[in-house]
Amino acid sequence: MKIIKNGTLVTPDGLKREDLAFDDGKIVKIGEISPGEEDETIDASGCFVYPGFIDGHTHLDLPVAGTVTADDVGTGTRAAVCGGTTCVVDFATQYKGDTLLGALETWKKKAEGKMHCNIAYHMAICDWNGKTKADLPALRAAGVTSFKVYMAYDTALSDSEILEVLGEVKKLGGIVGCHCENGGVVTELQLREIGAGHTGPWAHPLSRPAEVEAEAVNRFCYLGRLAGAPVHIVHLSTKLGLEEVRAARRRGQTVYAESCPQYMLLDDSNYSRPGFEGAKYVCSPPLRKQEDIEALKEAVLLHEIDTIATDHCSFSYEGQKKAGIGDFRKIPNGAPGIEHRPVVFMHIFGDQLTPEDYCRYLSEGPAKIFGMYPRKGALLEGSDADITIWDPSVKWTISAGNMHQNVDYTPFEGLEVSGRPREVFVNGVCASKDGEPTEALPGAYVAR
C-alpha cells in the first residue's frame, strides 16, 4: 500500500488535511493512516492532492489534411502525465465507409502498448446511415457514451443528420458534442480572402469570424431543443457564442460548455507574427479578440463553463505547418497543449479560483459529463488511484526546450508559471515525477 501524507486533499467534501492510501490501483482509505512495515509513504508537504486531471478533448495520432498529428498516443500521453493529466478523452473518428465499432478498434489499436495515462474515446460520427444508427447501442456497450459531430470540414454532418444523432444518443443516455462552425460560410470567406490576395496565416481568423461560431452554436442548441437532448459545445471561443449558450440555458436547455486555455490567454494578434510564425497559432476555431478572452474568463468565474480541455492537435512548425506557405487553407489546423493545460489554466486565474474550482474544471467536471464519475474525478475510497500531487510553489518557464510534446514549438513559449506536479499516479503507478516521465505505461482504456 502507498500512503500520501502531509498534503491537502481536494475532495468532493472540500479540502482535507488527511492521509490517503491506495493499493492495487484503487484508493482504499482516506483519514489518519499509520503505515505498516510493507507500506510506502509519499510526502506531499506543501502540495495539493488532486484527483488526476482529465483532458476531455485531445487528438492523438489523428490523420488531418494529408498528414498526421505530431503526437501519437505514446508521446501525447507521456506529455500529459508530465503535466498532471491522468486521463484523456480522445476522439476516435468514423470516416466515410467505417463502422462505429471498426473505428473504435482502430483507435484502440493506436493506443496499444503506449498508454502513459488512461484513455477514453468520444466517437466522432462522420457517416450517418442505417448501419451507424443500428450500431450505436453496441458502441455504448463497448464503453463509449459521448459523441462528436462536425458542422465544418469534410467530416461535417447535415443539420437533419445531427438532429437524428441527438435523438438516438439521447436514447442511450449519452451526450453529443459539436464542432460549432458554419463550414459553408467558412469556405466562402476563405475564397474571399484568397481572392483578395490574403494568403498568410493572418487571413485564417478573418475567414472564421465570431459569427461563424455563434450561428453554429445557436443552430446546435436549437437542434438539441428539437431532439429534447442535452448538448455539449466543444472549444467555445467567443463572446457571441457564449451569449448563445446563455440564451439556450435561459430557455431551460441543458447545455454543457467546454473551453480551452488558449482561448483565455492568447489573442488573434499572434497571427501577425513576423514571417510565417502565425501558422503556429492556426487552430479552429481561431484565437480571438481581447473582449472574447474577457467574456470567457468571466464565464469561468461565474461557473458558466463546465470543463477546460486542450483540443491538443499538434503539428510541427517546420515539417507540417509550413505546408501552408502561400495558402493559409493548407496549414494543418491545431495546436499543442496537452502538457500545459493545468498550469496555464492556473496561471490565468491564480487565486481568483480555489483548488476546489480547479478540481471541478480540470477533473471532476469532465468525469461527470463523460460518465466516469466517481470512478475518476474524485478522491474517494473505491475510486481509481489516479492522483496528481501538485506543488504550487515551483516556479518555471514554459518552453519547447523543456516540454515532452513531440512538436517543435509551444504557443505558450516563455510563459512564467507557478506550480508543477510533484508526483502523478495512474491506476496507482507513478507515471511522472517532478515533471519528468517514468518508464511505466500504467494507462488503460476506460470503458464508460
> Which residues form the interface with Zn ion (CB under 5 A)?
179, 311
Smallest separation (angstroms) from Zn ion to the CB of 138: 25
Select the binding partner of residue 331 from ligand URP, Zn ion, none (C-beta < 5 to 8 A, by kind): none
Smallest separation (angstroms) from ligand URP to the CB of 157: 14
Question: Using an 8 Å Cβ cutoff, are 147 and 92 in contact?
Answer: no
Tell me which residue has its CB nearest to ligand URP.
Answer: 333
Q: Using alpha carbons only, how large is the chain's radius of gyration in Å?
A: 21
Q: Which three cell numbers stand for residue 366?
A: 469532465
Smallest separation (angstroms) from ligand URP to the CB of 113: 25
Q: What residue has cell string 492522483?
A: 387
* Measured distance CA(284)–CA(288) in Å, rounded: 11
* Measured distance CA(85)–CA(387) in Å, rounded: 9
Smallest separation (angstroms) from ligand URP to the CB of 154: 12
* Measured distance CA(80)–CA(117) in Å, rounded: 7
Select the binding partner of residue 442 from ligand URP, Zn ion, none (C-beta < 5 to 8 A, by kind): none
Smallest separation (angstroms) from Zn ion to the CB of 338: 12
Could you tell me which of 13, 12, 33 has the C-alpha nearest to residue 22? 33
Determine the Cα angle at 84 with ends 60 and 242, to 5°: 70
As a 3-state breakdown, the chain gives helix, strand, coil percent values, each rounded to 5, of: 35, 25, 40
Select the binding partner of residue 329 from Zn ion, ligand URP, none (C-beta < 5 to 8 A, by kind): none
Specify the residue, 148 or 404, whose C-beta has the smaller distance to ligand URP: 148
Smallest separation (angstroms) from Zn ion to the CB of 313: 6
Specify the residue, 334 or 355, whose C-beta has the smaller distance to Zn ion: 334
Cα–Cα distance list, 156 to 180, 184, 191, 334, 335 (Å): 10, 10, 19, 17, 21
Select the binding partner of residue 333 from ligand URP, Zn ion, none (C-beta < 5 to 8 A, by kind): ligand URP
Tell me which residue has its CB nearest to Zn ion.
Answer: 179
Smallest separation (angstroms) from Zn ion to the CB of 4: 34
Specify the residue, 23 or 277, whose C-beta has the smaller distance to ligand URP: 277
Q: Which three cell numbers stand for residue 10?
A: 481536494
Determine the Cα angle at 237 with ends 236 and 243, to 5°: 75
Specify the residue, 168 or 311, whose C-beta has the smaller distance to ligand URP: 311
Specify the residue, 334 or 371, whose C-beta has the smaller distance to ligand URP: 334
Select the binding partner of residue 334 from Zn ion, ligand URP, none (C-beta < 5 to 8 A, by kind): ligand URP
Select the binding partner of residue 283 from ligand URP, Zn ion, none (C-beta < 5 to 8 A, by kind): ligand URP
Would you put residue 98 in left (φ > 0), alpha (ψ -120 to 50) or beta?
beta
Select the binding partner of residue 404 from Zn ion, ligand URP, none (C-beta < 5 to 8 A, by kind): none
**Interacting residues with ligand URP (CB under 6 A):** 59, 179, 283-284, 311, 313, 333-334
Specify the residue, 179 or 341, whose C-beta has the smaller distance to ligand URP: 179
Distant-in-sequence, close-in-space partners of 298: CB < 8 Å, separation ≥ 6: none
Can you spell out the DSSP letters for 206-224? HTS-HHHHHHHHHHHHHHH
